[in-house]
Amino acid sequence: MTITNLTKKLTFAEYLNYDNGTDNSYEFVDGELILMNPPIGLHALILFLLHNKLLAEINRLQLPWVILQMVGVRTAFNRARIPDLCIVNREQIQQYLDKSAVLESPPLLSIEIVSESSTIIDYRYKRSEYAAAGIPEYWIIDPESHKVTVLQLIEGFYEEKVYRNKDLIVSPTFPELSLTVEELWNV
């Protein structure tokens, strides 16, 4: 991830309207733009698998939820992160149909896939920011360590469970989900 050098720090409103003429995506941290690198192939395949598995559960349970990618989540007054994938109530996205989609209310679930350049950000910064923003569940998928950490927000702090290999990933949001950690690497 690269910080984009601007002559002045942006306000949140300026971030929402920022356009440098490229298709680049940026997270927003304390007035600075953080360039989001495109995912590697493995990450894209993991996202595809997760999307299909979670969508099947949403449809099976007939939930009014949608799966979003490339949508921002405001995590503080002057911060916005872009999870690799998030689950929201359908009505939550309605107000953003014709403007920059940076959610002001927390998604039900945020998922990040760790890359070499995002390890500290995903494990440390996003963990604390997502907790402060009130995101009830946060997954950290770590292909390098071959593990999935599921964090559940309890009384303002995340409690974590780590899953590896043939462990079935247990999700408070999707309690009947049938997905092992190993399946993520065998896409």
pTM exceeds 0.85 for this model: yes
**184 pLDDT above the threshold of 70:** yes
Strand 109-113 and strand 65-68: pairing?
unpaired
Give residue-wise pLDDT tens across range 112-165: 999 988 899 999 999 999 999 999 999 999 999 999 999 999 999 999 999 999
**5 pLDDT above the threshold of 80:** no
Q: What pLDDT was estimated at residue 98?
A: 85
DSSP bridge partners of 3:
34
The CATH number of 39-185 is 3.90.1570.10
Give residue-wise pLDDT tens across range 50-76: 999 999 999 999 999 999 998 999 999
Give the strand order in the sheet containing 79-81. Answer: 2-4, 32-36, 25-29, 79-81, 72-76, 102-103
